[in-house]
């Protein structure tokens, strides 16, 4: 899920998501499983000393970026996730004969993912007619070269 004020961080997470999905398909025939860990907020140093912000800021982004940075600072030490329990959940998934492709960790991760699934489904349902109208009606039509 994308968060305002964290676009670069989110881009790296989306890259890992796509890479993990593709890799899972590539190694499936070898009996290798891939699990994407999708953690919520855990009580680690991520929001504390590890959190870094740019020295210079752009005023136009102050509201979104500033609010995002403040949220991370305010959550420090109050994150709902327990890292030890997360580690145990990861071990459980890895040792499972049928590990999940995606393993959400934490109540906040579960809620955010469910929320995203709902708005993706809403968009798909709302725009279904437009989406389905873009195929050729004749499958033997010419390929358009730009």
| CATH number of the domain within which 29 lies | 3.40.50.720
Distance CA 34, CA 93 (A): 10
**Domain count across the chain:** 1
Answer whether 83's CB lies under 8 Å from 104's CB. no
Q: Which residues pair with 37 in a beta bridge?
A: 103
Mean pLDDT of the chain: 87
Q: What does the pLDDT look like over 56-89, one tens digit per residue?
A: 777 777 777 777 776 667 777 777 788 999 999 9
> Could you tell me the residue range of the domain that residue 109 belongs to?
7-132
Q: What are phi and psi of 68, to 5 degrees?
A: -65, -45
**pTM attached to this predicted model:** 0.78
Per the listing, tokens 């509201």 go with: 63
In angstroms, how far apart are the furthest CA atoms of the chain?
A: 61
pLDDT at site 140? 78
Q: 82 lies in a domain?
A: yes
């Amino acid at each position: 899920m994308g968060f305002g004020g964290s676009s670069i961080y989110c881009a790296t997470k989306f890259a890992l998501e796509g890479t993990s999905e593709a890799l899972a398909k590539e190694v499936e025939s070898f009996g290798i499983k891939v699990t994407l860990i999708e953690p919520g907020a855990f009580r680690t140093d991520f929001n504390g000393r590890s959190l870094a912000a740019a020295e210079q800021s752009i005023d136009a982004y102050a509201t979104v970026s500033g609010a995002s940075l403040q949220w991370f600072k305010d959550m420090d030490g109050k994150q709902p996730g327990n890292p030890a329990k997360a580690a145990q959940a990861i071990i459980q998934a890895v040792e499972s004969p049928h590990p999940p492709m995606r393993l959400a960790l934490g109540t906040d991760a579960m809620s955010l993912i469910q929320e995203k699934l709902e708005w993706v489904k809403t968009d798909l349902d709302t725009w279904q007619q437009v989406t389905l109208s873009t195929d050729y009606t004749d499958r033997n039509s010419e390929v358009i070269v730009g």
